[in-house]
């Protein structure tokens, strides 16, 4: 088919990702056109701070530079809108009011407002860049693995946390030292809360599990525990036992449609593929009943990888538009919801856990005895540098924390799951 078409693009947002998206479209347009027969032409760029941008040769090529969102919303010539604003309010207004196809990387908005955004929507929304940068995990779940019953999705979804954990492990550095280094190098925000507390990871897991299990997951039902409380002693303890600690996001469904969905520091055996994923890279394993284990790996953040996914989505929407004005594929990959899903509380799920805490009021043996009396199997215990460390088998978080609190109320408890 030699038919070519030009699609006019509006880009809302001209920060780090917005700038790289403009560059990718302009620099790679010839490659895109030769491969697809589609030409992307950026007509409009919106930013509240557009007048502060100086000496930008890419922006100079754009016809309309505006601070008024209505210049996008009311322009009938625009075919596709790329939303890279960040934040929630303006982005949500744009997505809800736009009658055009949308590309977005806004994971927080999607995870918290999926139901509202997709309800009765007639135009498509593509969001590959919302999870794992350039890694094509959304398309894989919606299209490539559509014949599989997805049993679980798990992986490393936050480059900031993985960068921190990798540096702690390889260089024997304390958490606060590595966090400052990550901030200095631009891998972590000045306020790193969303990253180190696992919230960013949970947003991404919410998106993946919603597609995988054919129902919109509730962010409020995801168990979230980040790496804020990790210490070098935890890294050393894990290494001595042949484990590597990673922040793992996981969602699994059983034959009765029970779903556990959680984010938690996890000890992985050193022969586990995810234990080899270092620094700012992401990796995701999707387990299907037909395809088995499928591993996706790549750059999970940064302007260039994210722009790759964004522009790919724009091309997909353009291709779809050449075929039909209807939704070629449902926005979340399913036409009918699985209404039988029951999200279970991960805190009640029996697993093997590593815990570490300290006490000034009770000795090590007091807690060891307390676990045994409450029928929690202590597989290994150790006291080192005023830290009490335990590996507890076939126990759940609620029972573990209740047992500790019967002896003493302790605030700073580090908990990691041990993945078999």
- Is 3 a residue whose pLDDT tops 90? no
Residue 333 lies in a domain: no
- Is 327 a residue whose pLDDT tops 90? no
From 19, 107, 142, 204, active-site residue = 204
Confidence of residue 156 (pLDDT cuts 50, 70, 90): very high
Sheet arrangement for strand 80-83: 64-66, 38-46, 5-12, 80-83, 101-104, 125-126
Confidence of residue 393 (pLDDT cuts 50, 70, 90): very high
Of all residues in the chain, the percent with pLDDT exceeding 70 is 99
Which token pair is 405? 């609190």
- Give the pLDDT score at 4: 56
Task: List, for residues 137-148, the tens digit of each pLDDT value.
Answer: 999 999 999 999
Residue 79 lies in a domain: yes
- Is 420 a residue whose pLDDT tops 80? no
Q: What is the CATH number of the domain that holds 60?
A: 3.40.50.720
- Give the pLDDT score at 19: 96
Mean pLDDT of 289-308: 93
Same-domain status, 194 and 283: yes
Confidence of residue 362 (pLDDT cuts 50, 70, 90): confident
Task: List, for residues 93-135, the tens digit of each pLDDT value.
Answer: 999 999 999 999 999 999 999 999 999 888 999 999 999 999 9
Same-domain status, 295 and 309: no
Count, in order, helices (H) and strands (E) of the chain. Answer: 14, 17
Q: What is the CATH number of the domain that holds 366?
A: 3.30.70.1110
Same-domain status, 241 and 282: yes
Same-domain status, 110 and 64: yes
Residue 341 lies in a domain: no
Mean pLDDT of 252-281: 95
The total number of structural domains in the chain stands at: 3
Same-domain status, 117 and 224: no
Same-domain status, 46 and 117: yes
Same-domain status, 210 and 116: no
Residue 24 lies in a domain: yes
Which residue segment(s) compose the domain that 157 sits in? 140-299
Same-domain status, 14 and 96: yes
Same-domain status, 178 and 132: no
Reply yes or no on whether 204 is catalytic.
yes
Same-domain status, 317 and 371: no
For residue 5, report the phi and psi dihedrals to the nearest 5 degrees: -145, 145
- Give the pLDDT score at 1: 43
- Is 170 a residue whose pLDDT tops 50? yes
Same-domain status, 261 and 361: no
Residue 330 lies in a domain: no
Same-domain status, 95 and 157: no
Name the residue among 300, 161, 159 with its Cα closest to residue 228.
161
């Amino acid at each position: 088919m030699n038919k070519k078409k030009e699609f006019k693009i509006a880009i809302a947002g001209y920060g780090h990702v917005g700038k790289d998206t403009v560059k990718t479209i302009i620099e790679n347009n010839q490659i895109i056109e030769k491969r697809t027969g589609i030409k992307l032409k950026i007509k409009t760029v919106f930013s509240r701070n557009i007048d502060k941008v100086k000496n930008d040769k890419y922006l100079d090529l754009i016809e309309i530079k505006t601070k008024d969102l209505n210049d996008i919303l009311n322009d009938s010539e625009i075919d596709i809108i790329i939303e890279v604003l960040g934040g929630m309010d303006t982005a949500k207004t744009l997505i809800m009011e736009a009658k055009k196809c949308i590309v977005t990387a806004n994971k927080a908005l999607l995870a918290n407002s999926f139901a509202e955004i997709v309800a009765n929507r007639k135009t498509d929304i593509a969001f590959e860049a919302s999870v794992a940068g350039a890694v094509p995990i959304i398309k894989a779940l919606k299209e490539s693995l559509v014949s599989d019953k997805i049993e679980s999705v798990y992986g490393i979804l936050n480059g900031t946390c993985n960068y921190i954990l990798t540096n702690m492990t390889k260089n024997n550095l304390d958490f606060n030292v590595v966090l400052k280094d990550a901030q200095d190098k631009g891998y972590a925000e000045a306020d790193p809360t969303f990253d180190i507390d696992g919230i960013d990871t949970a947003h991404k897991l919410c998106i993946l599990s919603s597609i995988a299990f054919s129902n919109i997951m509730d962010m409020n039902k995801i168990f979230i525990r980040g790496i804020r409380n990790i210490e070098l002693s935890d890294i050393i303890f894990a290494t001595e036992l042949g484990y590597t600690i990673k922040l793992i996001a996981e969602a699994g469904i059983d034959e009765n449609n029970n779903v556990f969905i959680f984010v938690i520091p996890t000890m992985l055996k050193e022969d586990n593929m995810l234990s080899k994923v270092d620094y700012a890279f992401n990796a995701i394993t999707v387990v299907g009943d037909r395809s088995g284990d499928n591993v996706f790996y790549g750059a999970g953040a940064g302007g260039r990888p994210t722009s790759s996914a964004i522009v790919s989505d724009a091309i997909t929407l353009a291709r779809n538009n050449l075929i039909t004005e209807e939704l070629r594929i449902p926005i979340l990959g399913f036409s009918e919801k699985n209404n039988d899903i029951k999200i279970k509380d991960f805190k009640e799920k029996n697993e093997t856990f590593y815990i570490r805490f300290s006490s000034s009021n009770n000795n090590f043996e007091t807690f060891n005895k307390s676990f045994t009396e409450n029928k929690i199997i202590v597989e290994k215990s150790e006291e080192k540098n005023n830290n009490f460390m335990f590996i507890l088998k076939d126990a759940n978080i609620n029972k573990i924390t209740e047992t500790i609190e019967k002896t003493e109320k302790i605030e700073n408890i580090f908990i990691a799951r041990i993945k078999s």
